[in-house]
Amino acid sequence: MQFEPGYADSLADTLGRSGAVPARGCCAAGQCYRAGANGALQGLADPGAHGHDQGRCAWPAWPGGVAACPGEPGKMGVMDIRPARMQDAPEIAVVHVRSWQAAYRGLLPQAYLDGLDPAQRTGRWEQAVSAADSHGGTVVADAGGRLSGFVSYGPARDDDADSRRAGEIYAIYLAPAAWDQGIGRQLMAAALGRLGEAGFNQALLWVLDSNARARRFYEAGGWIADGAAKRDDSFGVPMTEVRYRRSLP
């Protein structure tokens, strides 16, 4: 499979120089590639031949926090996983709302979801981005200037957690068009890596008990429900959230 025209050029631009394109690697969606003799990127027809295991490639990903994605219809293009900037706040708010409206359909009251307005969340995200420090912040997935997702993290907030040792994933959301492309895994890995660098040795998160899709994602990433639960009535109907935790390297 040949990647779409211009893909290698845009990738080289992202990496800073054409010579930075590696000889092999793995994209955000698990599609492996190789660089041909003429420098063109080609997909590998037989992933199993070089170490693919359940969608994870054994070859290295792109350096510098940049992951390549094959440019197929519906794909997000070259993805830069980076800290959020103040000017990202309006787009983070849009991703937040659109993700809620898609992911929580049937789980939260439809009238509540229909009434969500990104403009009402922009100020909150401006505050969150400005408050980032070495112990917490927000990381975004940037596809050529278009945000496809974000993750927010910091010290654990639960009364029974030691905030000096436990971090927390406060929120992780993707635009619906970015689902099932491996971007969530990249965002989660970035946040967990930063929590580990900040000195935390475990991480927590909360999720609706009825959100089967999210729970499968967390469990596939090594998260384990620890038995804690809490009730939330703020959406107009009683909802139960359950807590997950995992150790950090």
Task: For residues 196 and 167, give the distance between their C-alpha atoms in angstroms, rounded to a whole number.
Answer: 9
Query: Do 116 and 236 belong together in one domain?
Result: yes
Task: Report which secondary-structure segment, H or E, holds 236.
Answer: none
Domain boundary among 75, 109, 133: 75
Domain boundary among 30, 50, 75: 75
Task: For residues 90 and 140, give the distance between their C-alpha atoms in angstroms, rounded to a whole number.
Answer: 13
**pLDDT per residue of the chain (249 residues) written in tens, 0 to 9:** 222 333 222 222 322 322 333 334 444 334 444 443 333 334 444 444 444 333 444 334 433 333 334 344 344 456 899 999 999 999 999 999 999 999 999 999 999 999 999 999 999 999 999 999 999 999 999 998 899 999 999 999 999 999 999 999 999 999 999 999 999 999 999 999 999 999 999 999 999 999 999 999 999 999 999 999 999 887 778 899 999 999 997
Do the domain assignments include residue 207? yes
- Cβ proximity of 88 and 121 under 8 Å: no
- Cβ proximity of 107 and 237 under 8 Å: no
Record the tokens describing residue 170, joined without a space: 């406060």
| Structural domain total, the chain | 2
Query: Do 69 and 91 belong together in one domain?
Result: no
Do the domain assignments include residue 52? yes
Query: Do 185 and 233 belong together in one domain?
Result: yes
CATH number, residue 228: 3.40.630.30
Do the domain assignments include residue 1? no
Query: Do 150 and 214 belong together in one domain?
Result: yes
Query: Do 165 and 194 belong together in one domain?
Result: yes
Handedness of CA 231, 222, 67, 86 (dihedral sign): positive
Task: For residues 62 and 121, give the distance between their C-alpha atoms in angstroms, rounded to a whole number.
Answer: 33
Q: What is the pTM for the complete model shown?
A: 0.70
Query: Do 118 and 65 belong together in one domain?
Result: no
Domain boundary among 75, 96, 114: 75
Question: How many DSSP H helices and E strands does the chain contain?
Answer: 6, 11
Q: Domain limits at 54?
A: 7-75
Do the domain assignments include residue 112? yes
What percent of the chain is helix, strand and coil (3-state, nearest 5)? 30, 30, 40
